[in-house]
Amino acid sequence: MKIFVSGIAGFLGSHLADAFIKDGHHVVGCDSLIGGELSNVPAEAEFYQYDCCYRNSMLKITKGCDLVYHTAATAYEGLSVFSPHLITNNIVTGSVSLFSAAIENKVKRIVFCSSMARYGTNKVPFREDYIPKPQDPYGIAKVAAEDILKNLCEVHNVEYVIAVPHNIIGPRQKYDDPYRNVASIMINLMIQNRQPIIYGDGKQKRCFSYVDDDLFCLKEMATSKKVLGQTINIGPDEEFITINELAEKIANQLKVNLNPRYMRGRPQEVLEATCSAEKARKLLNYKTKTSLDDGISKMIEYIKSKGPKKFRYHLDIEIINSKTPDTWKKKIF
């Protein structure tokens, strides 16, 4: 098949492209490089440095594709409260631009990677039949993109699946980004003999998903008839831990004496967020194969091999006031 992957230079998109190329498929992809790295793009892929927001570009490069995987996103949940235009333009406009072009080019199926930010303050574990209660512009934008995808695909008879990955970790995750990727940020800091920074009291709870486990589910979504029109959480519902416990796990592996620096909590951050994996187990035979400790170990190995990096404040903050985290205003990372 000819498969299109948006965000192909990013963390998830590049791994997905690798997996499809290994299976013998022709992969085409684009990336604006806001959060991706050219070095992540598989050599065998047909690559275009295009932003998804430009429909004419998407129309050109999705021509002849059988499937579209939309993994590209400015996945900045916390930052979206302070840079709402940047984030929502990328999520909503970028998604609709790609969906429109793909449908015009008569693709068979669109797989959209949403976010567990869609669930917001719902009771954990989050289940797919919950009414979304997003708490920030990023989550609101993801739900809007989902609704538009459903509408367009139902009108124009295109197959679709909505995947909901959550807190994916692993090699290639951007670790010099001060706005996202808590595990990567902590590893990068501790390798530099710096203490991690934790927002609030660190009792926020999350589950973390190793990228290879998600890839299995995403690949199944390419051909399975059972998943058509479905929204499916992908990732573990085991090892539900606090951010404090995450810092401890990383410090133990790096043999660092942990003394985190606590800073004021971020607005709209959800205290507890984890998704039920029951639907993925039923429809996709999902199994968690990589433990959190093993995932952290693989990340540490990758970051050490690349070397620690200075944090890059590469995105503009649109709203700066007393609620904007000092980590960003004062470039503390």
What are the residue ranges of helices labelled H in the chain?
11-22, 55-61, 84-88, 94-104, 137-156, 182-191, 211-220, 243-254, 278-284, 292-306, 326-329
Helix (H, G, I), strand (E, B) or coil at 326: helix
At 37-84, the pLDDT tens digits run 999 999 999 999 999 999 999 999 999 999 999 999 999 999 999 999
Q: pLDDT value at position 290? A: 97
Whole-angstrom distance, CA of residue 292 vs CA of residue 205: 14
Candidates 3.40.50.280, 3.40.50.720, 3.40.50.2300, 3.40.50.1110; CATH matching 2-169+211-234: 3.40.50.720
Cα dist. 302→109, 191, 306 in Å?
Answer: 34, 12, 6
At 182-212, the pLDDT tens digits run 999 999 999 999 999 999 999 999 999 999 9
Whole-angstrom distance, CA of residue 178 vs CA of residue 56: 32
Q: pLDDT value at position 313? A: 96
Confidence of residue 106 (pLDDT cuts 50, 70, 90): very high
Confidence of residue 308 (pLDDT cuts 50, 70, 90): very high
Q: pLDDT value at position 36? A: 93
Mean pLDDT score, 274-297: 97
* CATH number for the domain formed by residue range(s) 182-206+240-275+290-329: 3.90.25.10
Angle at 246 between CA 263 and CA 125, to 5 degrees: 100
Chain center to CA of 99: 18
Q: pLDDT value at position 309? A: 97
Mean pLDDT score, 317-331: 97
Q: pLDDT value at position 81? A: 98
Whether the model clears a pTM of 0.85, i.e. scores above it, the answer is yes
User: What mean pLDDT is reported for the chain?
Assistant: 97
At 208-231, the pLDDT tens digits run 999 999 999 999 999 999 999 999
Mean pLDDT score, 296-301: 98
> What SS3 string covers 101-117?
HHHHCCCCEEEEECCHH
Whole-angstrom distance, CA of residue 217 vs CA of residue 195: 35
209 neighbors 168 (Cβ within 8 angstroms): yes
Q: pLDDT value at position 103? A: 98
Q: Residue ranges per domain, the chain?
A: 2-169+211-234, 182-206+240-275+290-329
Structure tokens belonging to residue 195:
């203490």
Whole-angstrom distance, CA of residue 329 vs CA of residue 331: 6
